[in-house]
Amino acid sequence: MTFTRDFSAHRVLAATSISYTVVLLDASIVNVALGEIGRTFGSPVSGLQWVVNAYTLTFASLLMTGGTLGDRLGARDVYLAGLAIFVLASVGCGLAPDLATLTLARTLQGIGSAMLVPCSLALINGAYPDASGRAAAVSVWMGCGGVAMAAGPLIGGLLIHALGWRSIFFVNVPVGIVGIWLTLFVDRATSSATARHFDVKGQLAAIVALGTLIGVLIEGPVLGWQSALVQAGIATSVAAWVAFFVIETRARNPMLPLQFFRNALFSASTFVSMASAFVFYGMLFTFSLYYQQVRGYSALETGLAFLPMTSMVAAGGLMSSRIVKQVGGRRSMCIAFGLYAVGALGMTLSNATSPYWLAAVPMVLMGLASGFISPAATSPALGTVEKRRAGIASAVLNSARQSGSALGVAIFGSFIATGRTFAPAMTLVLGVVVATSLVAAFVWWATSAPVPVERGQVS
């Protein structure tokens, strides 16, 4: 009986780990294909921004609703549907005849990811009822994501070199099918449905607010900031953001519980998570163009060039809890953002003819910072909410990360699109990285200080 239960739990872990692997692989692997995609479709930088952001934007906008959908209909069935959508959308990406079709298929990939990622955690939670087993399972799940993030650029480079850029999407198909097959054997009872409320108005307002914001940032440099379309987009975005916060304030069961942010530590954790994703994914996009357009690297050479950075993301995540215990969460987080700043300053020494190691060393520092910050920010944030609300709190943090990623690609890409040459645009990007890192470090230091306990007060 115990063996059967353990085997079933391990099957759940295998299925969910496979899905998380392809989701994070897709978030990083596409960057090394930007040069090939641009040449295939004759796309400017703005078009490449949409290829990256169509996925992350949809993922960020629908992540919390994906969790609610899983609670209402059952995590297993929603997970299966999300994985099926992701696989079919990957086929669409691989077969895309033009940039618009590719962008639409990437949007569908984001929808699938938003359904399957929160339901993955729900399935693990149901399969591992004891706390120690669940913690170990979540560690394996996150570890698979870390490996995928680290290996993504290299795998992408190898696939593109051997089979062309379309192969980076087709590779998702057999992996996704294995995940679907494993999930079909999962008992629906591992995640029963509950009557959670859909915040339809809040969801629609969030999609419009975030979508128009990213759209304005990407298209503003192309159409001109004074164009009627861009001005309308700005007005729509502002109105949608105001509407979203009004709706969430008044809703009985809001998509985004604003009371979480009354806690300074939760607010700071959300902010530093968003800032780290903004910096890391914005640089991933920028460096991809730098290696392929400035240094003339192939997709494979670009994947190899990213290896020091992405491998340190996985290492930073594995070492995060140990570093926090030894150094302290407050100090170690500020040091991590300091590594971002030092790495960005170091990258200013790199140019089209400089030795590769001048770029590799700063990228190691930035990869280590990124890997450390995500788990180090998550743990204290979840400690500020009730256990029964940990799922929605985790969704808020993940949405903040995805939103930060989309903003990084949009803003840094707009710098590149408006620059006459790449070098000054790259310098501006690195300056923003330094400024963002210093602000994030200051916010964390100011809000994460331990509260002194007065005499007679129970700690």
**Do the domain assignments include residue 30?**
yes
359 & 421 share domain: yes
150 and 292 fall within a common domain: no
> What's the distance, CA 88 to chain centroid?
21
Q: Is 210 left (phi over 0), alpha (psi -120 to 50) or beta?
A: alpha
Assess whether 179 and 47 both reside in one domain: yes
CA 369 to CA 371: how far, in whole Å? Answer: 6
Cα→Cα distances 354→86, 284, 436, Å: 41, 19, 26
> Does one domain contain both 288 and 249?
no
If we measure between CA atoms, which residue out of 445, 424, 290, 315 comes closest to residue 368?
315
Residues 397 and 428 in one domain: yes
Binned at pLDDT 50, 70 and 90, residue 236 comes out as very high
Residue 53 covered by a domain? yes
Integer Cα distance of 106 and 108 in angstroms: 5
What would the pLDDT profile of 310-347 be if each residue is shown by its tens digit? 888 877 777 777 888 888 878 888 999 999 999 999 98
Helices assigned H by DSSP within 164-199: 167-170, 172-184
Average pLDDT, the chain: 81
pLDDT digits (tens, 9 = 90+) for 67-78: 777 777 777 888
Helix, strand, coil content of the chain in percent (nearest 5)? 85, 0, 15
- Looking at the fold, whether 237 and 307 belong to one and the same domain comes out as no
Confidence label for 450 from pLDDT (cuts 50, 70 and 90): low
pLDDT at 133 over 50: yes
Task: Pick the most confident of 180-194, 201-215, 407-421, 423-437.
Answer: 423-437
Domain final position from 254, 269, 294: 254
d(Cα 321, Cα 173) in Å, to the nearest integer? 34
Q: Are residues 248 and 268 in the same domain?
A: no
Distance CA 28, CA 82 (A): 20
Specify which of 230-239, 260-269, 289-298, 419-428 reaches the highest per-range mean pLDDT. Answer: 230-239
Boundary residue ending a domain (254, 276, 299): 254
Q: What span, in angstroms and rounded, lies between the C-alpha atoms of 127 and 185? A: 13
Q: Are residues 439 and 299 in the same domain?
A: yes
Query: Is 249 a residue whose pLDDT tops 70?
Result: yes
Report residue 21 as tokens: 């692997």
141 and 217 belong to one structural domain:
no
CA count, 13 A, side-chain hemisphere, 253: 11
Pinpoint the alpha helices (H) of 228-298. 228-250, 264-289
Q: What is the pLDDT of residues 138-196, one digit of tens each?
A: 667 777 777 777 777 888 888 888 888 899 899 888 888 888 888 787 766 555 555 55
**Do both 279 and 414 map to the same domain?**
yes
- 8-36 pLDDT per residue, tens: 777 788 878 887 888 877 777 887 888 88
Query: Is residue 193 assigned to a domain?
Result: no
Give the Cβ contact number of residue 409 at 10 Å: 29
Q: Say yes or no: 306 and 421 in one domain.
A: yes
Residue 386 lies in a domain: yes
Query: Does residue 458 form part of some domain?
Result: no
**Cα–Cα–Cα angle for 42, 46, 51, rounded to 5 degrees:** 80
Task: Give domain status of residue 415, yes or no.
Answer: yes
- For residue range 385-400, what is the model confidence (pLDDT) as tens digits? 766 666 677 778 878 8
Residue tagged 């339901």 (tokens): 119
Same domain, 88 and 207: no
In a domain, 194, yes or no: no
Number of domains making up the chain? 3
Report the percentage of the chain scoring pLDDT > 70: 89
The answer to the question of residue 289 being in a domain is: yes
pTM comes to 0.80
Provide the domain limits for residue 287.
260-448
Asked whether 183 and 79 are in contact (CB, 8 A), the reply is: yes
Last residue of a domain, one of 135, 153, 185: 185
Q: 312 or 452: which carries more pLDDT confidence? A: 312
The 8-class DSSP code of residue 43 comes to -
What CATH number should be reported for the domain holding residue 46? 1.20.1250.20
Are the C-beta atoms of residues 293 and 35 closer than 8 Å to each other?
yes
